């Protein structure tokens, strides 16, 4: 007698959808519940669909990607401004330092949310299939 151990079919998860929902700081599965309890602290589970969010392992990746994004914007802007206008150093300091701080603080939760969405879509770190995966 042959036993049929059919592989469990897992519902595919859209990477782009999960990234977008995470970027908007929403649950990667339902897109309704908030991921964060505050600025960067992640809710243990989604308040809407009850997806367990504590599995995420964003660790140092959000600051890494945020620094990369902000660095490209700021350095590109600095080089462009210097090439086009040759402003004095105080103009650079008063423009780029606050802009760096504002961009970093604004982008960090968005990047962290997107990375959590990425981990969920790729079934990483405990985000494999779950009973609540409908």
Binding site for Zn ion (CB under 5 A): 27, 29-30, 33, 46, 48-49, 51
Smallest gap from Cβ 32 to Zn ion, in A, equals: 6
- The region that residue 9 occupies, defined by phi over 0 for left and psi between -120 and 50 for alpha, beta otherwise, is beta
| Nearer to Zn ion (CB atom), residue 30 or residue 69 | 30
Smallest gap from Cβ 42 to Zn ion, in A, equals: 12
| Nearer to Zn ion (CB atom), residue 62 or residue 117 | 117
Find out whether 123 and 15 touch, Cβ atoms under 8 Å.
Answer: no
Helix segments in the chain, DSSP class H: 15-23, 61-85, 89-121
Smallest gap from Cβ 30 to Zn ion, in A, equals: 3
Residues 6+ apart with CB under 8 A from 76: none
Find out whether 36 and 113 touch, Cβ atoms under 8 Å.
Answer: yes
* Rounded Cα–Cα distance for residues 17 and 129 (Å): 17
Smallest gap from Cβ 50 to Zn ion, in A, equals: 7
| Nearer to Zn ion (CB atom), residue 70 or residue 116 | 116
| Nearer to Zn ion (CB atom), residue 45 or residue 92 | 45
Say how many residues make up the chain: 134
């Amino acid at each position: 007698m042959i036993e049929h151990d059919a592989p469990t079919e897992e519902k595919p998860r859209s990477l782009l959808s999960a990234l977008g929902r995470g970027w908007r700081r929403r649950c990667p599965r339902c897109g309704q519940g908030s991921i964060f309890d505050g600025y960067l602290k992640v809710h243990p589970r989604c308040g809407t669909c009850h997806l367990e969010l504590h599995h995420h392992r964003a660790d140092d990746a959000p600051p890494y990607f945020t620094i990369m994004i902000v660095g490209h914007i700021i350095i590109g802007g600095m080089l462009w401004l210097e090439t086009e206008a040759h402003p004095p150093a105080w103009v650079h300091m008063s423009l780029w330092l606050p802009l760096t701080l504002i961009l970093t603080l604004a982008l960090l939760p968005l990047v962290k949310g997107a990375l959590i969405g990425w981990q969920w879509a790729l079934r990483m770190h405990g985000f494999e299939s779950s009973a609540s995966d409908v």
